[in-house]
Amino acid sequence: MAQTTASAATIEGAAWHGDTLLFSGLSLALPIGWTCLIGPSGAGKSTVLRLLAGLSTATRFEGTISSPSRIGYMAQEDLLQPRLSVLSNVLIGQHLRGGPVDTDLAMALLEAVGLTGFERRRPKALSSGQRQRVALARALMEDAPLALLDESFSALDAANRIKMQDLARDRLAGRAVLLVTHDPFEALRLGDRIFMLANGRLEQVDALPATPPHSPQTEGFGAHYDRILLQLLAAT
């Protein structure tokens, strides 16, 4: 891919699940903007993301990975710690690293995700949409050049999903984002670039030309969606 800007992260190589090849010849660079990774379940989408994050996987990987030391991370679960306040949850990265804690920034980020006044509450007092917004604030707290989103919006209801997607696009502007999703609609709506991982191979598919987020009203949305869906159907 001819990208003039430097990539925030790259991964090249192959991975095995036991003796079974998961993918090979994979080469993915993440420049600024949203890269969406779609594909059938079990194709290794989350493995790619976890490898980039430096997290443990059930696979053996051979190749090279370069990613920044700081990464904003959002999973499908909000991963909020049940007995810590919302504020402590936003600060958990700093707590876990030790050293100074920037409460002012955490409060500002809570404001940015629309949760002013929630800082002393426990996560269980929040709705699932609010909890995922705390998770976004926690990811933003890292102030990292790279954000890795693993099905981060998949557990939300339709209205909250749209809201969270737009909020995340807004707040993560200017950074490299990898969104792993099983949903071609979401990929098309949010992706500056879209890749499909299926049958052990990574392939780029067409994203819509203008700047996301798109809506189904955007010209070409339907045609793009049908094409991606056909490719997915062919892959499974």
For position 153 contacting another protein by CB under 8 A, the verdict is: no
For position 52 contacting another protein by CB under 8 A, the verdict is: no
Strand order in the sheet with 176-180: 71-74, 146-150, 176-180, 33-38, 193-198, 201-205
Pick the piece of the chain touching another protein (CB under 8 A) from 5-13, 51-59, 171-179, 190-198: 51-59
Pick the piece of the chain touching another protein (CB under 8 A) from 28-36, 88-96, 167-175, 195-203: 88-96
Q: Give the phi and the psi of residue 233 in degrees, each rounded to 5.
A: -65, -40
For position 120 contacting another protein by CB under 8 A, the verdict is: no
Nearer to another protein, 141 or 202 (CB): 141
For position 56 contacting another protein by CB under 8 A, the verdict is: yes
C-alpha gyration radius of the chain = 18
Pick the piece of the chain touching another protein (CB under 8 A) from 9-17, 20-28, 73-81, 217-225: 73-81
For position 79 contacting another protein by CB under 8 A, the verdict is: yes
Among 92, 101, 105, 108, binds another protein (CB under 8 A): 92
How far apart CA 66 and CA 142 sit, in angstroms, is: 18
For position 100 contacting another protein by CB under 8 A, the verdict is: no
Strand, coil or helix: 21? strand
Residue with tokens 């999903």: 161
Contact 98, 116 (CB under 8 A): no
